[in-house]
Homo-oligomer: A and B are copies of this chain.
Amino acid sequence: MSMLDMVDKVEALMMDLGARARLAARALATAPTEAKDAALRAMAAAVAADLPAILAANAEDLARAREAGLAPSFIDRLTLTETRVAAIAEALREVATLPDPVGATIADWQRPNGLRIRRVRTPLGVVGVIYESRPNVTADAGALCLKAGNAVILRGGSDSAKSSAAIHASLQKGLAAAGLPVDAIQLVHVSDRAAVGHMLAGLGGAVDVIVPRGGRSLVERVQAEARVPVFAHLEGLCHLYVDGAADLGMAVSLAVNAKMRRTGICGAAETLLVDRACAATHLAPILAALAEAGCEIRGDADTRDLYPQALSASEADWRTEYLDAILSVAVVDGVEGAIRHIERYSSHHTEAIVTEDAAAAERFLNGIDSAILLHNASTQFADGGEFGFGGEIGIATGKMHARGPVGVEQLTSFNYRVLGTGQTRP
């Protein structure tokens, strides 16, 4: 086959996936809650029953990854065990227990002419999910999209191709068992990177939104190339601000938790800002506790004056999402100084203030335009599960449609239903 035939073949195959997804989406839009939940439970049962096949497929992926000399952390994310497969099945069952967002009335009012207007949740349509080599995303993303009445086209990393295909086969068994179209959850089997390009172009209008799940380079490519809306965050450069009116004990505990509980998640704090008004009393104890917990401190000149053990922070530090046990620290002039620093350097994902002063908290929450703002709580709560959304497909930092954790409700649109008794417009 010539190169050109190859290109045409990938495009034709992707367009076909798109057309099938569109058809499945039409059926799903009016599928009863019971059918979707039955499918989710059948998917869980199929994943459990197919454990040997899933582990065998994963073993093939792992062998190739080890041969290729991939990093241990990568191998760990790729590895499936009996326990991890059981967790995948359990997550599917949990999505079945969530309330169905589709058909819910969001607003309902009557006009003076008697017209009754209802705003009702509807599915988005077709979601494209592009992810790296975490096989569990295949099941998680498939389940959340299905619950919201959307068809999904999944494109996983090539290193986990066999594992994802095995899990996907179980998902389709569950769909079939519940009488739902198997095209509701499709997996792109071509490893050709052009497949991603076609998804980003929208497959001829078939794709309503793209959700990238992965590192910065993946998200950057998706945001640069996508011709359809994208739910994503490029990075989580989150700030914790300790105000002059902060309780010291609380500030220490929140700073250690926000930075060190898990350093690799997008809600981990990357920069600590301390109010000049309390720097003399609060800064050293907070930084000592962080250092004790194993954190490297990079401070500005004011920070190093009060805590000489700190390394020197450069301009680049304020712009860096470490995703590691490293923290940049600056002394700022009150809540206004904190807002100025955050508006300049933040990725507008999540920021927190520690203070006993309600007015300072109010000013901080109103003055910063990030997706999630916390008062006296750890930035590590920036997570759909912690919000009570029961699972999320990602976190969005864009201001359109979905913002913050993207759960089943955020995977829907809405329309208006107007009920009359023969009203004509004068």
Q: Is the CB of A374 closer than 8 A to any CB of chain B?
A: yes
16 more contacts with CB within 8 A, not counting A115-B377, A208-B400, A375-B418, are: A30-B366, A115-B386, A124-B400, A371-B415, A372-B416, A373-B417, A374-B419, A376-B420, A376-B421, A376-B423, A377-B419, A377-B420, A377-B422, A377-B423, A378-B424, A403-B415
Q: Which residue of B lies closest to A375 (CB)?
A: B419
Q: Is the CB of A388 closer than 8 A to any CB of chain B?
A: yes
Interface residues of A in 358-392 (CB under 8 A from B): 365-367, 369-378, 380-381, 386-388
Q: Is the CB of A404 closer than 8 A to any CB of chain B?
A: yes
Q: Quick check: A404 and B416 within 8 Å, CB to CB?
A: yes
- Cβ 8 A contact of A370, one of B29, B30, B375, B415: B415
Q: Quick check: A422 and B376 within 8 Å, CB to CB?
A: yes
- Cβ 8 A contact of A403, one of B365, B378, B414: B414
Q: Is the CB of A295 closer than 8 A to any CB of chain B?
A: no
- Cβ 8 A contact of A425, one of B117, B343, B381, B420: B381
Q: Quick check: A125 and B399 within 8 Å, CB to CB?
A: yes
- In the bound assembly, the distance between CA atoms of A29 and B365 in angstroms comes to 12
Q: Quick check: A378 and B125 within 8 Å, CB to CB?
A: no
Q: Is the CB of A84 closer than 8 A to any CB of chain B?
A: no
Q: Which residue of B lies closest to A224 (CB)?
A: B227
Q: Is the CB of A193 closer than 8 A to any CB of chain B?
A: no
Q: Is the CB of A261 closer than 8 A to any CB of chain B?
A: yes
Q: Is the CB of A209 closer than 8 A to any CB of chain B?
A: yes
Q: Is the CB of A247 closer than 8 A to any CB of chain B?
A: yes
- In the bound assembly, the distance between CA atoms of A425 and B388 in angstroms comes to 14
Q: Is the CB of A160 closer than 8 A to any CB of chain B?
A: no
- Cβ 8 A contact of A399, one of B103, B124, B366: B124
Q: Quick check: A372 and B415 within 8 Å, CB to CB?
A: yes
Q: Quick check: B125 and A423 within 8 Å, CB to CB?
A: no
Chain B residues contacting A416 (CB-CB under 8 Å) are 371-373, 387, 403-404
Closest CB of chain B to A265's CB: distance in Å? 10
A115-B381, A418-B373, A419-B375 given; A254·B424 CB < 8 A: yes
- Cβ 8 A contact of A378, one of B371, B377, B386, B423: B423
Closest CB of chain B to A221's CB: distance in Å? 15
Q: Interface readout for A317-360 with B: 1 if CB under 8 Å, 0 if not?
A: 00000000000000000000000000100000000000000000
- In the bound assembly, the distance between CA atoms of A390 and B361 in angstroms comes to 33
Q: Interface readout for A393-419 with B: 1 if CB under 8 Å, 0 if not?
A: 000000111011000000001111111
Mostly helix, strand, loop or mixed at chain A's interface?
A: mixed
Q: Which 4 A-B pairs have the closest CB atoms?
A: A377-B420, A257-B424, A399-B413, A401-B401
- In the bound assembly, the distance between CA atoms of A365 and B418 in angstroms comes to 9
Closest CB of chain B to A238's CB: distance in Å? 13
Q: Quick check: A111 and B388 within 8 Å, CB to CB?
A: yes
Q: Quick check: A375 and B413 within 8 Å, CB to CB?
A: no
Chain B residues contacting A418 (CB-CB under 8 Å) are 372-375, 377, 381
Q: Quick check: A419 and B376 within 8 Å, CB to CB?
A: yes
- In the bound assembly, the distance between CA atoms of A256 and B400 in angstroms comes to 38
Q: Is the CB of A229 closer than 8 A to any CB of chain B?
A: yes
Q: Is the CB of A281 closer than 8 A to any CB of chain B?
A: no
Q: Which residue of B lies closest to A368 (CB)?
A: B415
Q: Is the CB of A172 closer than 8 A to any CB of chain B?
A: no
Q: What are 10 residue pairs bridging A and B, where the CB atoms are less than 8 Å apart in the complex?
A: A117-B388, A247-B422, A254-B424, A257-B424, A365-B417, A376-B422, A378-B425, A380-B424, A403-B416, A404-B416
Q: Is the CB of A263 closer than 8 A to any CB of chain B?
A: no
- In the bound assembly, the distance between CA atoms of A413 and B401 in angstroms comes to 7
Q: Is the CB of A133 closer than 8 A to any CB of chain B?
A: no
Q: Quick check: A422 and B373 within 8 Å, CB to CB?
A: no
Question: Which of A125, A254, A420 has the most CB atoms of chain B within a 10 A radius of its CB?
Answer: A420
Q: Quick check: A420 and B111 within 8 Å, CB to CB?
A: no
Chain B residues contacting A420 (CB-CB under 8 Å) are 374-378, 381
